[in-house]
Structure 1
Amino acid sequence: MSELTTLARPYAVAVYKRAKETGTADKWSDALAFVTLLMQDEQLAKAAANPKANREQFSEAFLGLCKDHLDTEAQNFVRLLIRNRRLDLVKYIAELFNQYKAEDEGYIEVDVSTAFPLKDAEQARLSSVLERVLEKKARLRVDVDPTLIGGVYIKAGDRVIDASIRGQVERLAKRLWT
């Protein structure tokens, strides 16, 4: 995965630089998210990766799906990715773009997985604690993962806090068997 992030970085830097110049960071973030969503479709991903596929025809067909969601600049960017056979990197480009945007705007995206839904007060308290620890405004993206059994799993940038029951059981098992 780090290799893919390395390949995606120049694209993300260029797009973010352009977004800052034009004041369209939110628009670009939405466009990248939309293309990432499209690329989750198995058939589209296979077609994009097919070395025998006609790139021009694929480009026009793909952009036909995006016509109402991408402006001219974003369409040109997608054409560039298709021409360079890098459309599969769009997920990583979007992630890096959003990291740059968050850094610039002084916040950090925090993915929080919990075994059970958090109440608003619990989310506010968690956000407050994370802001003190991370020394940045925290934007929480909370999802429920019952496989955690209990507790919470937090990922903020390259920092991970595993306070889940599943994580504790895995660490205990590792200690017992080593």
Structure 2
Amino acid sequence: MSEVATLARPYAVAAYKRARETGTAEQWSTALGLLAQVIAEPRIAAAASNPKAKKEQFVEAVLDLCGGHLDDEARSFVRILVANRRIGLAGAIRDQFEQYKAQDEGYVDVRVATAYPLEEEEHKQLAEVLKKNLGREPRLDVHVDESLIGGVLIKAGDRVIDASVRGQLQRLAKRLYN
């Protein structure tokens, strides 16, 4: 996973720098999200990793799938990614771009898995604790994962806080077997 992040980083940095220069961070965010969805489709992903695929035909196919939703800069970005055989990194580039955007705008995206639905007061308390610990305004994406048994699993950027019963049982089992 770290190799993918390393390969994606220069493209994400370049895209974010250009977005800041032109004041088009939201448009870039949308374009990268669309591109990541297109490339995630299994047949497109297979074509992207096929060394026999003709680059120009592949570029045109991807741009056709994106329709008119990409501006000229985003279309050029797609061409660069295909030319450098990095189009398969579109999802990682989007993720890093969003992290740069969040950091610059003073918030952090946080994915929270809970064993049960949070009540409004619990949601507020969790947001306050995370704001204090992360030093930025958290944007919570909360979903229920019953396999956690109890507690929460929090992912904020590269930080993971596993306060779930499942996690505690796994750590206990590891200690017992070692």
Interval of TM-score (by shorter of Structure 1 and Structure 2): over 0.9
TM, length-normalised to structure 1: 0.96
**Alignment correspondent of 2:78:** 78
**Alignment correspondent of 1:14:** 14
Query: Could you say if the C-alpha distance between residues 123 and 177 of structure 1 is closer, same or farther in structure 2, counting changes exceeding 3 Å?
Result: same
What code does the residue aligned with 2:91 have? Answer: K
Q: Give how far 1:83 is off.
A: 1.3
Correspondence list, 1:24-173, <5 A: 24-173=24-173
Which of 66-75 and 46-55 deviates more?
66-75
What code does the residue aligned with 2:83 have? Answer: R
Question: What 5-or-longer segments of structure 1 have no aligned partner?
Answer: none
What code does the residue aligned with 2:113 have? Answer: S
**Alignment correspondent of 1:3:** 3
| Cα RMSD after superposing both structures | 1.1
Query: Could you say if the C-alpha distance between residues 125 and 38 of structure 1 is closer, same or farther in structure 2, counting changes exceeding 3 Å?
Result: same
Which of 135-144 and 41-50 deviates more?
135-144
In structure 2, distance between residues paired with 1:170 and 1:177 = 11
Q: Give how far 1:79 is off.
A: 1.2
> Moved runs in structure 1, 4+ residues, more than 6 A?
none
Question: What 5-or-longer segments of structure 2 have no aligned partner?
Answer: none
- Residues 101-158 of structure 1, C-alpha deviations (whole Å, 9 max, x = no match): 1111111111111122223332221111100111111111122222211110001122
| Alignment size in residue pairs | 178
In structure 1, distance between residues paired with 2:11 and 2:100 = 12
- Residues 1-57 of structure 1, C-alpha deviations (whole Å, 9 max, x = no match): 111111111111110000001111111111111111112211110001100011111
- Residues 43-79 of structure 1, C-alpha deviations (whole Å, 9 max, x = no match): 1100011000111111111100102321111111011
In structure 1, distance between residues paired with 2:79 and 2:123 = 41
In structure 2, distance between residues paired with 1:53 and 1:47 = 7
8 Å CA contact retained: 2:12, 2:94: yes
Identical columns (%)? 58
